[in-house]
């Protein structure tokens, strides 16, 4: 056998195998009828449309959530700044406070003077509350 004959025989065998494969495919290839495929395609298209609307709704919800988060984050940051400023004020006032807890001004007053100071304080407070 020469080289050309081998190619011819290989080609004939390959063509026979392809023909047998084609015949088997035609005989056993279709397991579902075409209308069943069409029904499945229609079902999948319907599911796809509902999924697309769900994705759109979730996208809108996500944007709303991001807006709410940003607003809350801004409020949180402002509150933290206020707290830090308050802490500074408290530390400053505590540094000014005497160690025994009494103001030197109150220590220097007599008992009658302390009562006068309280009376003045309550009068000023009542006046502010009326306004």
Distance from C-alpha of 10 to C-alpha of 16, rounded to nearest angstrom: 10
Q: 63-77 pLDDT, tens per residue?
A: 999 999 999 999 999
Distance from C-alpha of 113 to C-alpha of 106, rounded to nearest angstrom: 9
Alpha-carbon Rg for the chain in angstroms: 46
Mean pLDDT rounded to a whole number for the chain: 85
Residue 32 has pLDDT above 80, yes or no: no
Average confidence (pLDDT) over 92-105: 69
Residue 94 has pLDDT above 90, yes or no: no
| Structure confidence at residue 99 (pLDDT) | 62
E strand or H helix that includes residue 1: none
């Amino acid at each position: 056998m020469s080289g050309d004959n081998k190619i011819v025989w290989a080609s004939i065998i390959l063509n026979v195998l392809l023909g047998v494969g084609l015949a088997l495919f035609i005989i056993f290839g279709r397991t579902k009828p075409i209308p069943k495929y069409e029904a499945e395609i229609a079902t999948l298209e319907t599911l796809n449309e509902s999924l697309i609307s769900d994705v759109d709704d979730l996208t809108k919800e996500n944007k709303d959530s991001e807006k709410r988060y940003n607003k809350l984050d801004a409020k949180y940051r402002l509150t933290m700044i206020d707290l830090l400023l308050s802490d500074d004020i408290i530390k400053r006032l505590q540094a000014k406070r005497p160690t025994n807890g009494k103001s030197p001004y109150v220590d220097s007053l007599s008992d009658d003077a302390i009562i006068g100071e309280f009376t003045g304080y309550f009068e000023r407070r009542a006046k502010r509350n009326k306004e």
